[in-house]
Chains A and B, each alone.
Chain A
Amino acid sequence: MSEAETEAPPPPQPKGGDLVRRHSLVTRLWHWTNLVAVTVMLMSGLMIFNAHPRLYWGQYGSNAPGHPDPAWLDLSHVNGGVPFPPWITIPSHYSLADARLWHFAFAWILGLVIAAYLLWSLISGHLKRDLAPRPAELAPANIWHDIKNHARLRFPTGLAALRYHILQKLAYGGVLFVLLPGAILTGLTMSPGMNAALPFLVDVLGGRQSARSLHFLCAFGLVAFFFVHIAMVVLAGPINEVRSMLTGWFRLPRERPGKQEEDAA
């Protein structure tokens, strides 16, 4: 989409049914690399969670025999103390050591590609042009209008389908600027070495156990996004959507017959 102006000169304006360039090569590369990295981080992270399935707020927190610190989430009695089953963890057999090996290697991929992608988005204008919500879009009436259209499965058609609507912008922005950087920063904050190197991080987050809680909340946020994202791709036409993220080419959905102006928000 970001290359629509440069690679497919506007006149004549594309209309419903036309094939158009939608996702730039950088976006496509980042999307799939990020998918692999997040998947490995999540599955190895669930194994790491299994090693101590309790979450706390504050600087400290443990299950000292007879005097456990208060935990806001305690799954230590689920499934015999191993809440996440083998089919969803890396490795599938219990090994905290191996999960850490995967987690701290793929963390480099995750961190480097999101840093590079955010930098590219800023410099190329992708961020300002496609992702940043405009003030008018943030008006409650517009957001409500978009929610209603979603609930009725009325997705934008024609040229309007080339732009992200406000719910998409908020979801993608949340992933790019909150959940992914949040997972990375809270992850770094759990490392005693990084605590010594960057002490302000652990102070800002309210302690190492708070950072650990926020880390898993970011991870669960990414999982929630994943399911909504997949549902939307399926509802909007999975072949066309997946093709556009693989090849960059997207077929604009045809205008509905007798379509009202309300979609051209």
Chain B
Amino acid sequence: MPQASSISVLVVDDQLTMRALIRNALQQIGFKDIREAPDGEEALKNLLAKPANLVISDFNMPKMDGLALLRAVRSHPPIRQTAFVMLTGRADRELVQRAVQFGVNNYCVKPFTVQGLRDKIEQVFGQLT
């Protein structure tokens, strides 16, 4: 049972509000090491400089979208195993299917609650303490 506080998270979303909300939710779950990036490009740079255990990423972002980020993460050996949870809207079904092909660990449909997000993360890491 991993401890939430020992899992490092990178939140990727082009919207400051959304990053703040997700950060807030993660803090409620017990995460402490939370970083942010506004797009895939920054996220990848960030990860290569300092890997994280978990990436929570939006899909539609400028420069490099969530799907491209996922592919990039999976093709860089040191960070290949980063857990990747994609945030999607209901309309993005095909997108999630593609994300599955590229090895997404889980997805979370907006809107979600703190508990909903927790469940999704626990499905990947096991129950969090």
Report if A and B associate in a common complex: no
Binding site for A on B (CB under 8 A): none
